[in-house]
Structure 1
């Protein structure tokens, strides 16, 4: 077997295998190699650079002893797939379900998550989006502290566990999107620095040092991340990637990393014969993110849309602190439902400056919208979720909107378990200061910060879903509402129509009601506690969140905090 590693500044590199260290030979462009005949699948190894180490392989496919242990040879071809009939899934018209493997089930493994796929099939979602699975320090983490980016967290089931989960999803007709982090690496167990110029030398974001995408030696660094993306899509049969916080990718080259990645993924999709999806998390409100490469864009299939979340959250919760202050006026929800974003070049009070550009001509399916996600729940001190009354109204609007809707695990039944921020750093300094760092990150958001210590195991255990809640009538009723909404969305072409210029919305200036027209389908929402009579008159009620809902010549009589979907006569 041949071992390879990129270490352009090294004068000597050795590979450390069970039978001792072997010298490696320098090759082209800073690469070193060595042949070890007796090595094979499962062999533990590490690298020694100019006498320092041993360090894990930067492209380690497996870390069986965790981030501080040696790497292990992993041969992808040894896994037997059964998804040969899988032809992929298009993002258009789809519903996404986000989950965290460690808290989705009590066991917190890929195998246990696969056992719950029947629930997702009955819910009728099209993709599951799993939070990052790269190895992290300790036994619990959201995943954004990942290192060894080519490997898979062993506590979840390692590389074979992930493949088995993807295989099971495909057999169930569900695509898989993987959340990946390329804007920084975790603060613990990161051994890339001894090998080469992987970092730029300045703080790229609140979360860590910027990766080197445009400085000396950055050609191979870019290939490191693009190769990682290709690995998930090719070797793990993943259907798409969600790229974390791309606004924290510092790249001043004429051709941005995202454009280069998009082109590579398009080529791979042609080779594999199935669609591949790239979803950016971007705080820029820049439509170039989702414009095709040939139109001068960065070529992302879609991007997360915080503006829709913020407008929905404010409408159903009444909160207006922090970044919600810009969305307090009812007109904000009208604007995002018809134009995609609120911040399209105007002033943002929260930011204290103008922000964004118009998304004119961008189809709604390129904007991923949600009522809840891991950030918007987990970034609250108590990790608290929206109450059921808010979920009913919010889900009704989300799942009839022109965007690609995304749910967060447990939302569909009104899970009462929180989703807290948790970690398990092994270094005492990181462990003891984690809570302080977290509080500082959200300074000025208007929260009274009384969050539990994220390093305590209790924060992790409390975040696990309680599936027994489904036995309770109130939770089961909400689940049926979500199922019915998704079924109606898939049955009526008007509801999945992504053309924003076809959406008409009117709302009460005081925020008591909102009416959204999707062709001949009308969504009427009563946010107030009193019964209201709203348009349309004489329509056929297709679905309602509460009874009784009466449709007559004067309009639709809606009880307080209720939503109805009607069909009108063309």
Structure 2
């Protein structure tokens, strides 16, 4: 099976031979095409700032650059592949040359989602798409159903989280060629795994973005962002810009047969138009050819805008499928570690109550004032939404990597606390997300890493250390100097997972816990999630650190959680129904007595209507 997304820009091989090249460059009056380093070919100007040229003898594999009137040679912003990094020539790619073996794949319904976030470069020692294939069977055995891959769009250098990408259509050459990524996706589908990709539509990285040189209208100085003028989604010339990102969505979903995308930090997108770009992108998801398959739009949004997650009266999606729920992470983190600095201050007073609100209503902040944001109100009412609209997690790349030393939660919390919060995460109705290595309590940190040119590298390193100066722990300049240099090779190397650990204590025991809990999820919970609506959740709190919650599942049964997430034993009425799981130290006799030891969790399933 062949898959190719046709776009109004970039380099596109033609059916009868030759290649059509097209560039939007409204800031210049002439553009030349340099093909395989040969003499420059003038491109024809067309209306609206477009330049185009069809070269009959061009073919897949040719390298090309665009020459601007001042002599600057720039890569194609819609390049499908840049083999020599972001400053080098783009390569003509014939997407139709790849034979897809997954013609019968239709994806999976969202209720089955168990997500596994990974970074291609540090997931395996190979650090590429092919290396990731070797771990797919392991993920299936673990109980995962979806890979969520951090951005692969071409970034400067050979190491980067991916959020500094500047060529959003080109998989980074450090990970392999486009067809290598396609092989990974096809191999995942063969094993029943969905593949979602993280994409960044709120900014471009600080090195290798040449758009300012020939398309200043790509940015709108009316909106100022931490990266400078915002991407122009609502000013003059914004139609071409919006089309660029709409086609990026369709390109990944069609040409790479992905099962969904995660839109990074949509709160950092500036757009006053209606429909806004997020709404337009949601429409693009619905327009994917062959839409009979499941395609999912996942959001990251600090503003907790429930409007983007709305369902109709029949439970059908109107826009986004789900959102990463940072609120629930912060609650888990405060409970498990006791840390209350930075944004954790908003969860310090009543972490268990706010956790209960996340589990029963979605967001912890639904319009309340944020202390961390100096009293600014945050969020919208979300209790009407189904649990499927909220992705829960204990860890992710941001929450680990934005710490100075990249500590994972298992490095900060006690084993008994980790078991308790893990049991809550993996058996709750919301789709859970794991961050690579979490499931075996890896010893590796996940640090911030990149590889910029010398001057930018120095600024990034200094800025990173200065960023932590407001924390008492880093008030001493000497201590700040101990923060790993993001550009150093050893910083990246420290993050590469050591897979041999899964055969050793204590990592093996943690892995077995995750496998056990996910097996229970698959046996008892997943088959009952479809059609549950918001689940009519009932929340009570026997103590300040104890939660009792039950939800009505799609088949009418009630799923019940009883959890003591504190250091002291508490008395609580045991729930009715079949016991699915009890944490270590909480046996049937203890439950019957109503005495919960510290950090204990029990899950029950009641097929009746008792509460």
TM-score normalised to structure 2 length: 0.88
* 1:265-291 C-alpha deviation (Å, 9 max, x unpaired): 20115x343121111110111111212
Deviation at 1:496, TM superposition (A): 3.8
SS of match in other structure, 2:427: coil
Alignment partner of 1:224 is 2:247: no
Question: Counterparts of 1:289-300 in structure 2 under 5 Å?
Answer: 289-291=308-310, 299-300=319-320
Asked if the contact 2:427–2:525 (Cα under 8 Å) also holds between the matched residues in 1, the reply is no
| Deviation at residue 146 of structure 1 after TM alignment | 0.4
Relative to structure 2, which stretch is displaced further, 448-457 or 318-327?
448-457
Deviation at 1:440, TM superposition (A): 4.5
- Which stretch has the larger CA shift, 473-482 or 160-169? 473-482
Q: Counterparts of 2:175 and 2:311 in 1: how far apart (Å)?
A: 36
Q: Which of residues 341, 354, 371 in structure 1 aligns to 2:394?
A: 371
Q: Which residue, out of 452, 457, 460, partners 1:434?
A: 460
User: What is the SS of the residue equivalent to 2:171?
Assistant: coil
Query: 1:381 and 1:14 mapped to 2: Cα distance?
Result: 46
Query: Are the aligned partners of 2:386 and 2:535 in contact in 1 as well (CA < 8 Å)?
Result: no
**Distance (whole Å) between structure 2 residues aligned to residue 25 and residue 244 of structure 1:** 36
By how many angstroms is 1:433 displaced?
Answer: 1.7
| Distance (whole Å) between structure 1 residues aligned to residue 263 and residue 90 of structure 2 | 25
SS in 2 for 1:160: helix
| Contact kept? 1:286, 1:356, Cα under 8 Å | yes
Q: CA deviation at 1:470?
A: 0.4
Q: 2:257 aligns with which of 237, 250, 258?
A: 237
| Residue 549 of structure 1: how far off its partner (Å) | 1.6
Query: CA separation of 1:25/1:88 partners in 2, compared to 1, >3 Å: closer, same or farther?
Result: same
- Verify: 1:332 aligned to 2:358, yes or no: no
Q: Is 1:390 paired with 2:411?
A: no
In 2 relative to 1, CA 289–253 (structure 1 residues): closer, same or farther, beyond 3 Å?
same
Instruction: Check the 8 A contact 2:353/2:544 in 1, yes or no.
Output: no
Q: How many pairs align? A: 567
The answer for the alignment partner of 1:134 in structure 2 is 153
2:241 and 2:116 map into 1 onto residues whose CA distance is 32
- 1:370–1:565 CA distance, 2 compared to 1 (3 A): same
Quick one: which of 453, 456, 465 aligns to 2:497?
A: 465
1:357 aligned residue (380, 387, 401):
380
Quick one: distance in 2 between partners of 1:242 and 1:537? Answer: 37
How far apart are 1:568 and its partner, in Å?
5.2
SS at match of 1:193: helix
- 1:2-36: CA deviation from partner (whole Å, max 9, x where unpaired): 21111123221110012311111112322211122
Distance 1:556 1:454 in 2: 50
Partner residue, 2:325 = 305
In the other structure, the counterpart of 1:36 is 55
Greater CA drift, 233-242 or 358-367: 358-367
Task: Say whether residues 1:58 and 2:80 are aligned partners.
Answer: no
Indicate conservation of the 8 Å contact 1:13/1:24, yes or no.
Answer: yes
Note closer, same or farther for the CA distance 1:535–1:5 as it changes in structure 2 (3 Å cut): same
Quick one: structure 1 residues 332 and 412, their matched pair in 2 at CA, closer, same or farther if it must change by over 3 Å?
same
Q: Where does residue 16 of structure 2 map in the other structure?
A: none
Residue 538 of structure 1 contacts residue 554 of structure 1 at CA under 8 Å; is this kept in 2? no
Secondary structure in 1 aligned to 2:110? coil
In the alignment, does 2:522 pair up with 1:502? Answer: no
Q: Contact 2:563 / 2:600 at 8 angstroms: preserved in 1? A: yes
- The answer to whether residue 450 in structure 2 is matched with residue 417 in structure 1 is no
1:185 paired residue number: 204
Kept after mapping to 2: 8 A contact 1:504/1:516: yes
Q: CA deviation at 1:204?
A: 4.1
3-state secondary structure, aligned to 1:232: helix
CA contact (8 A) 2:576 2:604 kept: no
* SS of residue in 2 equivalent to 1:478: helix
Alpha-carbon shift at residue 569 of structure 1 (Å): 7.6
Give the Cα separation in 2 of the matches to 1:553 and 1:38. Answer: 77
1:14 aligns with 2:32: yes
Cα distance, 1:496–1:557 mapped onto 2, change above 3 Å: farther
What do residues 338-365 of structure 1 show as CA deviations (whole Å, max 9, x unaligned)?
2211211122111122222211311111
Is 1:111 the counterpart of 2:138 in the alignment?
no
Partner in structure 1 of residue 512 of structure 2: 480
Gaps in structure 2 of 5+ consecutive residues: 1-18, 475-479, 553-557
- 3-state SS of paired residue (1:341): coil
Say whether residues 1:347 and 2:369 are aligned partners.
yes
Q: Distance in 2 between matches of 1:3 and 1:293?
A: 42
**Is 2:86 the counterpart of 1:67?**
yes
Structure 1 residues 445 and 209, CA gap change in structure 2 (3 angstroms)? farther
Aligned partners of 1:529, 1:401: CA distance in 2, in Å? 22
| Whole-angstrom distance in 2 between the partners of 1:518 and 1:360 | 13
SS, match of residue 319 in structure 1: coil
2:444 is the counterpart of 1:404: no
Q: Distance between the aligned counterparts of 2:39 and 2:24, measured in 1?
A: 21
Change (3 A) 1:412 1:188: same
Distance 2:273 2:567 in 1: 54
Whether 1:253 and 2:267 are equivalent positions in the alignment is: no
Give the conservation status (yes or no) of the 8 Å contact 2:361–2:385.
no
Would you say the 8 A contact 2:539–2:547 is kept in 1?
yes
Work out the CA distance in 2 between the residues paired with 1:174 and 1:337: 26
Question: What do residues 100-123 of structure 1 show as CA deviations (whole Å, max 9, x unaligned)?
Answer: 001111111111111000111011
Q: Give the Å deviation of 1:205.
A: 3.1
Partner of 2:584: 546
Change (3 A) 1:240 1:361: same
Partner of 2:604: 566
TM-score by length of 1: 0.94
What is the RMSD of the two structures over their aligned residues, measured on CA atoms? 2.4
409-418 vs 535-544, which moves further = 535-544
